[in-house]
Amino acid sequence: MQQTELKQLPDWLLEQLPKITEPAILSLWDTKLVVTYPDRMEAIHESLKDVQHQIHHVKPKDSQILPEGYQYFGEDKESGCLFFKTSEYLPSSFFPTPIKKI
């Protein structure tokens, strides 16, 4: 939906639509995982488990993984999630919130 299309909606409906928020962005700095929040605060993590905990439990936000993140974890394409081990037998995954551009 284009931004101009939103202006054609009735005012009562526009008031009910959720506000669009900027995502937390997962990127790399050398071999460290860096999460940058919309307020430009950065958090550096050693593992995806730490990233997942911070984003989903401490600061719930929409999130996005940059292509370099997929490449670092051996993914040849942007699949929408990254998998990691939480123990020898238990895998987990980091699913960023899908963000749709208007």
- Residue 90 exposure: Cα atoms within 13 Å on the Cβ side: 3
CA-to-CA distance for 43 and 94, rounded, in angstroms? 16
Mean pLDDT by 10 residues, the chain (102 residues): 63 84 85 87 87 70 79 72 76 67 46
pLDDT of residue 102: 44
pLDDT of residue 101: 47
Q: Is 35 exposed, middle or buried (0-12, 13-18, 19+ CB in 10 A)?
A: buried
Element (H, E) at 45: strand 42-45
Per residue in 3-24, pLDDT tens? Answer: 555 567 888 888 888 877 788 8
pLDDT of residue 44: 92
